[in-house]
């Protein structure tokens, strides 16, 4: 696992597009950290962390279909928690239309969108990228490590 640099942009966008996940603003924001899982120099998994002081948004966890079942998603999530801790993120929010069960098993729980902090509500994920039908989940990271 490692932080992704711009030379992997095309691979990341192709993987996210294949997974039907948004790519619209990933490269234009400085507060997004992308972490990749690799097979040689090929990105086989990706996860993003968008940071807003002590809170963050989990962005687009995706693993190539042919690489699923190898705990790549779990390893990416573990790396994301380390990055969140290193950046003093205490709560992690996400929006999903397809992975609520997976994230619930990872310690996330449902929260109403109107309970989300204003700075998170103003993120592009919450404002425009994800549909209103997406479930909002949160995980407290302050006691994790």
pLDDT computed for residue 142 by the predictor: 87
Lowest pLDDT segment from 5-19, 20-34, 46-60, 110-124:
20-34
Structure tokens given for 32: 């997004």
In CATH, which of 3.50.50.60, 3.40.630.30, 3.30.1300.10, 3.40.50.150 is domain 2-140? 3.40.630.30
Is residue 145 within 8 Å of 85, Cβ to Cβ? yes
pLDDT computed for residue 9 by the predictor: 84
Is residue 76 within 8 Å of 105, Cβ to Cβ? no
> What is the chain's mean pLDDT, rounded?
89
| Alpha-carbon distances, residue 118 vs 29, 49, 127 (angstroms) | 18, 17, 11
Is residue 59 within 8 Å of 96, Cβ to Cβ? no
Q: How confident is the model at residue 68 (pLDDT cuts 50, 70, 90)?
A: very high
Is residue 60 within 8 Å of 48, Cβ to Cβ? yes
Is residue 120 within 8 Å of 126, Cβ to Cβ? yes
Q: Give the Cβ contact number of residue 57 at 10 Å.
A: 25
Check pLDDT > 60 for residue 144. no
Check pLDDT > 60 for residue 145. no
> What ranges make up the beta strands (E) of the chain?
2-3, 32-39, 42-52, 55-63, 91-96, 109-110, 135-140
What's the pLDDT tens digit per position in 79-120? 999 999 999 999 999 999 999 999 999 999 999 999 999 999
Look up the pTM and report it.
0.89
Distance CA 68, CA 144 (A): 26
> What ranges make up the beta strands (E) of 5-130?
32-39, 42-52, 55-63, 91-96, 109-110
Domain ranges of the chain: 2-140
């Amino acid at each position: 696992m490692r932080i992704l640099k711009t030379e992997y942009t095309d691979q990341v966008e192709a993987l996210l597009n294949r997974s039907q996940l948004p790519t619209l603003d990933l490269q234009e924001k400085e507060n997004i950290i992308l972490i990749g899982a690799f097979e040689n120099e090929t990105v086989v998994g990706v996860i993003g962390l968008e940071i807003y002081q002590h809170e963050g948004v989990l962005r687009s966890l995706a693993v190539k279909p042919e690489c699923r079942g190898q705990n790549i998603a779990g390893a990416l999530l573990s790396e994301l928690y380390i990055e969140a801790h290193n950046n003093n993120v205490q709560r992690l929010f996400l929006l999903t239309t397809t992975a609520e069960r997976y994230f619930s098993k990872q310690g996330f729980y449902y929260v109403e969108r109107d309970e989300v902090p204003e700075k998170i509500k103003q993120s592009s994920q919450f404002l425009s990228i994800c549909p209103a039908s997406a479930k909002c989940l949160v995980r407290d990271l302050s006691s994790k490590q």
